[in-house]
């Protein structure tokens, strides 16, 4: 990659980070987002801590924490925020930024995220068996499926694991095309 492309990528990333921080500027650090988040227990930095890092200019630390990968996009934080901040969108923007700028640090999280979106795009909803098959093939690890075998068997036993269905196939394609036109999205 030449220097001009590197600079423009860096500039675009910097502008995107500034836009994220600007959207979080009114945050009063009340902690409602963290208290509402069903995944906060699994995050290295809670949403409130993540916003504080970003607002204090510690973008690299915020990206290194990787908490945004744990966001399930349930919008609970956004709905409960007393300031009405677009917190879920900020998490999604951080995921996109991390995947684009720090692919070596994102590892399996970015791979699973992309595989998940491809699965939803293809089938119109999550097809668990197809999702995991694609993920295992993408990871190119012959032993990885065995780590998920106990979970898969439990899901199968409870009737939660179904084979791919084509009933919703392609139904969300228009939405994905619109999102691609709107910005840097998969």
Decide if 46 contacts 67 (C-beta within 8 A).
yes
Please state, in angstroms and rounded to a whole number, the distance separating the CA atoms of residues 82 and 70. 22
Question: Per-residue pLDDT tens for 75-120?
Answer: 999 999 999 999 999 999 998 888 887 776 677 777 888 888 888 8
The pTM of this model reads 0.67
What domains are defined for the chain? 12-101 (1.10.1060.10), 108-186 (no CATH)
Cα 6 to Cα 101: distance, rounded to the nearest angstrom: 11
**pLDDT of res. 169:** 78
Residue 17 CA to residue 54 CA, distance in Å, equals: 9
């Amino acid at each position: 990659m030449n220097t001009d492309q590197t600079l423009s990528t860096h500039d675009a990333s910097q502008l995107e980070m500034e836009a994220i921080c600007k959207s979080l500027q009114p945050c009063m650090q009340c902690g409602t987002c963290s208290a509402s988040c069903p995944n906060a227990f699994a995050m290295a930095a809670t949403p409130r801590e993540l916003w504080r890092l970003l607002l204090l200019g510690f973008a690299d630390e915020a990206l290194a924490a990787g908490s945004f990968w744990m966001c399930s996009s349930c919008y609970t934080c956004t709905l409960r925020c007393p300031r009405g901040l677009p917190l879920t969108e900020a998490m999604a923007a951080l995921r996109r930024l991390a995947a684009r700028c720090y692919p070596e640090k994102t590892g399996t999280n970015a791979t699973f995220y992309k595989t998940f979106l491809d699965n939803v795009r293809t089938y119109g909803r999550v097809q668990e068996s197809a999702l995991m098959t694609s993920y295992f093939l993408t990871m190119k690890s012959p032993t990885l499926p065995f780590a998920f075998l106990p979970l898969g068997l439990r899901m199968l036993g409870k009737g939660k694991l179904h084979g791919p269905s084509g009933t919703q196939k392609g139904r969300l394609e228009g939405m994905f095309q619109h999102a691609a036109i709107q910005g840097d999205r998969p």
